[in-house]
Structure 1
Amino acid sequence: MSLRVALSFVALMFLSACALLQSQEKAALGPWHLPFEAAEVSQLLKGSYQDQEFVLNAALKMDEDRLLLLGLDQMGRRAFSLTWDATGVHVDRAVWLPDALEARYILSDLMYAYWPLEKLVAQGLVVTQDGTKRTIFEEGQAIAFITKEGTTQRWAGQTVIENIKRGYRIEIQSQQTGETQ
């Protein structure tokens, strides 16, 4: 088997796996529906996974048509881009990003932290909220703890997400940069 044939086979397998991942995500989240007002948000994500520390800058834009989430590392390299639109969720991620930090996991955590409680419950999640603290449950077990510190405004201040299921902790500093009309 020539090197060209082998590389073509590997590329084909990689593209097939990506298509499978995207179709699984579409089935899990379905088409995009704006859960609250349109917004543009800048976020600094600092976290730890196992013994690794990470810092990402994220830009989040959501309007009637789609949600766009872009993550950059400290050197400005694209870690991931995620689009959620009428056809589902589409993800492009850098190979160097740790597996536990997949963009769809970060999207889920952002939903846990920022979506209105009634929208999460409508999706079948079991959620408790006590003031600025939320706990997300799966099969009776707590899988994530979210704490909003300093303010009750959705896109201001610090939010801490401890995702027990995935084994990481993220501190998010958010600032709304604009609204989309």
Structure 2
Amino acid sequence: MMIRPVCRVLALVAALILTGCSHSSPDNGRPQAWLAPGVNVTLPPPGIAPAISSQQLLTGRFNGQSQSLLVMLNADDKKVTLAGLSSVGIRLFLATYDDRGIHTEQSVVAPQLPPAGQVLADVMLSHWPLSAWQPQLPKGWTLLDKGDKRELRDARGRLVTEITYLQRKGKREPVSIEQHVFNYHITIQYLGD
């Protein structure tokens, strides 16, 4: 599978193929990500309960191009782990976010992709509770759940990110992420059920 810049669209997978070992912010040791040009946010702590474990086929769309990749997501009360796999099950990358920051391992050579903090922002924005995000958001920004959607809005009330959910096995799980400012869309298909 050829990994191209369109993988940026696959925000969950991009973290995997990075060249750096750790990315963190100077004030609290936690990574940061861009919500919009010129607006960044420090990610919430990595722990989440109950734990999450899923295999996902991600299909991203950016600038009229699509790309798919198999991703394994595991998160518990101490860390988040993302692994990207080829179509035949060969691990392409591994990214871990814990109390020491983001750590990545790259198994194949690939073009430069977004920083791990950017990828984790989409994962965490989708799964972490609103209460974990509220103190992290810039002044005037809001993150609200409205039925089967979660909306991130800027200080002027403009929609920045919209996440759509479905009930799966008694849990509310994300099935798409639409990022309006950076103009990408990710569809999430759960595997192994």
Q: Which residue of 1 aligns with 2:60?
A: 47
Change (3 A) 1:134 1:63: closer
Alignment deviations for residues 107-129 of structure 1 (CA, whole Å, 9 cap, x no partner):
21121222112222132262122
Q: Which residue of 2 aligns with 1:99?
A: 113
Change (3 A) 1:33 1:46: closer
Match of 2:160 among 143, 154, 159: 143
Is 2:155 aligned against 1:154? no
User: Shift of residue 97 of structure 1?
Assistant: 5.3
Runs of 4+ in 1 over 6 A off after TM superposition: none
3-state DSSP class of the match of 1:106? Answer: helix
Q: Which has the higher contact order (CA 8 A, sep 6+)?
A: 2
Gaps of 5+ in 2: 1-18, 33-41
Q: What count of residue pairs does the alignment treat as equivalent? A: 157
Rounded Cα–Cα distance in structure 1 between residues aligned with 2:59 and 2:23: 26
CA RMSD of aligned residues (A): 3.1
Gaps of 5+ in 1: 1-16
TM-score using structure 2 length: 0.65
Match of 1:90 among 81, 100, 103: 103
Q: Which residue of 2 aligns with 1:6?
A: none
Rounded Cα–Cα distance in structure 2 between residues aligned with 1:146 and 1:116: 13
Is 2:69 aligned against 1:56? yes
Q: Which residue of 1 aligns with 2:24?
A: 23
Change (3 A) 1:31 1:104: closer
Change (3 A) 1:97 1:34: same
Is the helix fraction higher in 1 or 2?
1
Q: Which residue of 1 aligns with 2:150?
A: 134
Alignment deviations for residues 129-173 of structure 1 (CA, whole Å, 9 cap, x no partner):
211111112343322111113557134xx6111112332111112
Change (3 A) 1:82 1:64: same
TM-score using structure 1 length: 0.69
User: Shift of residue 95 of structure 1?
Assistant: 4.8
Verify the 8 A CA contact 2:55 2:191 in the aligned structure 1. Answer: yes
3-state DSSP class of the match of 1:113? Answer: helix
Verify the 8 A CA contact 2:81 2:97 in the aligned structure 1. Answer: yes
